[in-house]
Every structure is written in C-alpha cells, then in structure tokens.
Amino acid sequence: MHANLPVSKREQFLSLRGFALPDIVCPAAHKENQTQTHYVFPASNSPAYSIRVNLQGAEESCRPDFDEARKRQLVGPDDFPYGLSEAKWWDYCLAPHSYLLLEDGQCQVGLNLFNRFLHLDLNQRSTQLVDPGVGNEILSTTNWFDSKTGELWFASWPVEDTVRRILHPQKKVRVKIWRLSFHDHHVHQVWQGDFADSLHQLSLSPDHRFLILTEMGVRTQTPTASANQERGIVPSEILVLDLKTGHSWRLPMQAAGHVEFDPKNPELCYLSGHNIGLLGVKVGIFGPGTIQKFALKEPGPELLGEFTAPGFHRITTHVVFRHRGKVLIGASGYPHTVFLIDAATMKLHQTLEMDPGEKVDTSQAPHICQQDSYGIGVSEDGETLLVAGTGFIRVALIAEKRFCFHERIAGYTANSYFTGHLGTFNLCPRG
C-alpha cells in the first residue's frame, strides 16, 4: 500500500562541480512540526533543489497498536523512552536518518522507528509512505537493496515488543528478516529469532553470504542528564548471520552503529560503536567511540583490530574508501574533527579540522551535546571529502589536509537541524 504525501520544492544554486563528488542528498528535520526537508546536490551542472515533506498525522498508522500495547504493558505518560514526551517521541520516530538508493531514482529514507518506509522519487520529486505488508510491524532504519534481483532486505518486529522494552530494556524481541521483491511485491521471510529493537542497519557482505544487523538502543541506565558516568548506557548487540549455513553470532558493542565493507577484500568489514545515549532531546556522550575491524569467516567473525582515541566522539558516520594506494576509514568525530584511519593498521592516518566547536568532557558525567552532528561523503577518486551538517557544506582536499570549499545551504532556519547521514549516489549524468 502506497500513500502519497504533500511536498513543496525549491531550487537553489550551489555547484559542487570539479570535485568528482557523487550526487549528494542531505536531511533536515524541523522542530515546529513533523516536516522534513531533503536537499539534493546533483553531480551534474543541474541546480540543487530541496523536497519538503509533511508527515504530520503519519503516526496514526502506528499509534493505535502502540496505545493498545501501552495499556497492556502499563506504560504511563511519563514512561516514554529517553525521557521524551509523547509528542517528542513521535517526532523522534519519524525523523529522517539515512538514504538507500532503490530503482529508477527511487530512494528510501530511513526513519528512526516506524512501521512504514518513506520513499522519495528523485526524478518526479514526489514522496510516498510504503507499507511492505509484514503485519504493521516496526521496520529497521537503514536497509539493503539488491540491484540485480530488485529485492529489498529489511527487518521487522512487533510494536508490542518495543513497548515492553520501554520498561524492560533487556527483554528480547521477536525479529524477522525479509526480502521484498519490487517486481512482484512478494515478501519472503529469511530468518526469525530473538534479538532487539531499535534495529539501526541491515547490510549484506559483497559476496551475499553474511548478513549484519546492528542494534542502536542509545538507552541510558538512568534517564536523566545527571546520571554518573559509571552507570553508562545499556549495551547493544550486532547480529551476524551466515546465509549459507544458517549459523549466527551476536557481538556486544556500546550503541552499535553502522557497518561498512572493505572495497578491496569482501571478507573484511568495519563496525562503528558509539558511546552515546539519548537524554531527552539531547545526545549525551559517555566516552570515546570505536571502529572495529572484523573478518567474516565460516567459523565466525574474527576481530582483527580496533581504533579509538580520546577525542573520538559520537562518530555519526564512517565511510571506507581508497586513497592513493591505501584503504582509509573516514569518521565524523564530534564536534569538528574528521578522523582518517588506515584500515590496514587501524592506526590514525590524519585528521581534518573544521571550525572549533564545544569542548567535550566526559570525566565527571556524560557530555550533553550543544550542537548537531554532521555527515561525510567521499569523491569517486578518493581525493576529496565532503562534510554536510546543519545549513552548511564543506569540501576538503585530503592530500593537502585542508578544507577548500564552504557554502551555506539555503532554506535552513533556527528550527532546522541536520539528522543522520548523507546519501551519496550516482543518479545524474555529468554536465
């Protein structure tokens, strides 16, 4: 079932030609209502444009099931996750997080915690809410699309289980993994088992043998910003599933984030572990994050190395790419440092600094972030790195260790803020 949504469109001049960058899609949410804007910066000489989507009332597809489960589980109005009010909870659930390119200019927007997919048509500049037909369950945020078969892989779980976890965050969840064919609309169940909710990313290895599914609960052991550091956050897990043998493994990690695969060796992957929790509408940093390097083998995942550093905070995005004979991992360190890590050694290669931001200190208590994070993308030749955040775009020359381009994004207001990640695609022919 597809439901069209009202949109408004706007063009602006902001050219990224000359940097060999792909097409860039950048998300923004708006505090005054449940609207979001998706800024599209084509690699061709076409004007940049934005698509503003109104999701007000969209939560009604999920609210009846959620309210019924609340009654059964005795969840009161002050018990919503992360210390949020009911209104802020639905704002969080519907916020845009990530992008996945599908077919024919269709792009799936990953919503934080919802029972519908949001699809953007970047050719027609229209939007739809899509029900994949798996029983009105909540859907994983960032998914995987097989362009050869036209199948979308995603996970789902009952609304009841998420409500139960509000009061009992360690409870297991009945998770199912699906393949949805865009050709005949048939949905096929791949796996079922006990895992978690807040499922953040599902991805397959380049050889399609291993599936990785990350949980990012970002739940704190205590719900207030004054929680002492020792209390910390409720640990997350990562599910690794061997699609050939059916064997599965669960890897512990603090606030498991995203997985990226090595561009040279399909056996290698890099998993990001945050050390953050949501404290009301703010993000609390409890300490440095990590990037872990794994080899995926039949006996199970093998940890090969790890990177962390005292200032390696929040790490919203990490990308893996080739640069002048090396494989580098680019990671967005909060609030203003891009880390470039040598994937072979898992040692720091270099950093790229933006304008200084707030000082992060987690020695006594979690640091409450006062500014938004940002996303990063890399050029096709691995020479330049793009950074986009709340109202700005920057481009850095990696070999010269400097930012050479800085532009404001038109349309941002004091009520607009960057959420999640950039989409980096090859949609448009070069102009």
Question: How confident is the model at residue 3, as a pLDDT?
Answer: 62
pLDDT surpasses 90 at 11: no
Q: Which residues pair with 199 in a beta bridge?
A: 215
Strands 367-368 and 282-285, sheet pairing: antiparallel
Given a contact cutoff of 8 angstroms between Cβ atoms, the answer to whether 292 and 300 are in contact is no
Question: How confident is the model at residue 227, as a pLDDT?
Answer: 43
Q: What average pLDDT score do residues 238-243 get?
A: 98
Question: How confident is the model at residue 203, as a pLDDT?
Answer: 98
The whole-angstrom separation of Cα 74 and Cα 59 is 21
Domains of the chain: 2-425 (2.130.10.10)
Please give the distance of CA 14 from its chain centroid, rounded to a whole number.
25
* Nearest CA among 310, 304, 295, 306 for reference residue 272: 306
The whole-angstrom separation of Cα 288 and Cα 258 is 16
Q: What is the pTM of this model?
A: 0.94
Q: What average pLDDT score do residues 176-203 get?
A: 96
pLDDT surpasses 50 at 229: no
Task: Encode pLDDT of 291-343 as tens digits.
Answer: 999 999 999 999 999 999 999 999 999 999 999 999 999 999 999 999 999 99
Question: How confident is the model at residue 430, as a pLDDT?
Answer: 42
Q: Write out the H or E segment, with its range, that includes residue 72.
A: helix 63-73
Supply the angle between the helices 63-73 and 159-167 in degrees, to the nearest 10.
40
* Nearest CA among 235, 247, 321 for reference residue 277: 235
The whole-angstrom separation of Cα 142 and Cα 156 is 12
C-alpha distances (whole Å) from 49 to each of 97, 231, 322, 375, 409 are 19, 45, 30, 19, 10
Please give the distance of CA 218 from its chain centroid, rounded to a whole number.
13
pLDDT surpasses 70 at 66: yes
Within 246-371, strands assigned E span 248-253, 256-261, 268-273, 276-279, 282-285, 290-297, 300-307, 318-323, 326-333, 337-342, 347-353, 367-368
Question: How confident is the model at residue 223, as a pLDDT?
Answer: 54
Question: How confident is the model at residue 45, as a pLDDT?
Answer: 75
pLDDT surpasses 60 at 369: yes
C-alpha distances (whole Å) from 101 to each of 32, 109, 180, 246, 399 are 29, 9, 15, 28, 30
Structure tokens at 108: 């799936």
Question: How confident is the model at residue 426, as a pLDDT?
Answer: 82
Task: Encode pLDDT of 242-300 as tens digits.
Answer: 999 999 999 999 899 999 999 999 999 999 999 999 998 899 999 999 999 999 999 99
Confidence band of 2 (pLDDT split at 50, 70, 90): low
Question: Residues of the chain with pLDDT > 70: what percent?
Answer: 95
Task: Return the SS3 of 238.
Answer: strand
